[in-house]
Amino acid sequence: MYTNEDLLQRRVELSAAKLALLEKRRRREPTYGARPVSIQRRPQDNPAPISFAQQRLWFLQQLEPESTVYNELIASRLKGQLIVPALTQASREIMRRHEVLRSTFPMVDGQVIQVVHPSLDLHVPFVDLRGVPLAEREAVAQRRIAEEVQRPFYLAEEVPWRRLLLRLDEEEQ
């Protein structure tokens, strides 16, 4: 840990260029050029480039169209009263913020491209299991989840994100 005297001594020993840089940083001015570097928004009328990871997934899907090896399951048990429209709106907002969740990967002129859809009608499928006997309900829910994760994605036509809501009882989803 430096004392104030140590810091003052170190400042005195700095070159003029380093003092100018230190002053710029103190004023929070950019130190690497005339203006800050920012990522420019891609024009919406141009197809987005496809990443190496997306190329790999697309290629593997072409080799084995029914494969689900890259499907990932994220399941959450929600307790308490669920406001389904709020859940749907939260899903819509996630999709709005992440282009990859609104993208399909068709082949155009012999080249795979990424088509980012401006918006999609997001529907959260809802399965009500309250009519299933209580002793069987958990097993039915687990089976339904397993079936869902075993459905392949067809990347040329559908986005790579699905949702499913299973209602077990009034206070558990």
| Residue 37 pLDDT greater than 70, yes or no | no
Region of poorest pLDDT, from 34-48, 80-94, 98-112, 140-154: 34-48
Per-residue pLDDT averaged across 157-171, rounded?
A: 90
pTM of the complete model: 0.66
Rounded distance, CA 55 to CA 124, Å?
28
Q: Which tens digits make up the pLDDT trace of 114-142?
A: 998 887 777 788 899 999 999 999 999 99
Whole-number pLDDT of residue 30: 65
Quote the mean pLDDT of the chain: 86
| Residue 110 pLDDT greater than 80, yes or no | yes
Q: Which residues have C-beta within 8 Å of that of residue 149, sequence separation ≥ 6?
A: 68, 71, 73
Q: How far is CA 2 from CA 9, 32, 41, 98, 119, in A?
A: 11, 28, 44, 45, 54
Q: Which tens digits make up the pLDDT trace of 43-72?
A: 777 777 788 988 998 999 999 999 988 888
Per-residue pLDDT averaged across 36-43, rounded?
A: 71
Per-residue pLDDT averaged across 143-160, rounded?
A: 91
> What is the 3-state secondary structure of 70-113?
CCCCCCCCCECCCCHHHHHHHHHHHHHHCHHHHEECCEECCEEC
Is it true that domain 52-167 has CATH number 3.30.559.10? yes
Domain boundaries, the chain: 1-38, 52-167
| Residue 34 pLDDT greater than 70, yes or no | no
Q: Which residues have C-beta within 8 Å of that of residue 160, sequence separation ≥ 6?
A: 57, 100, 101, 103, 153
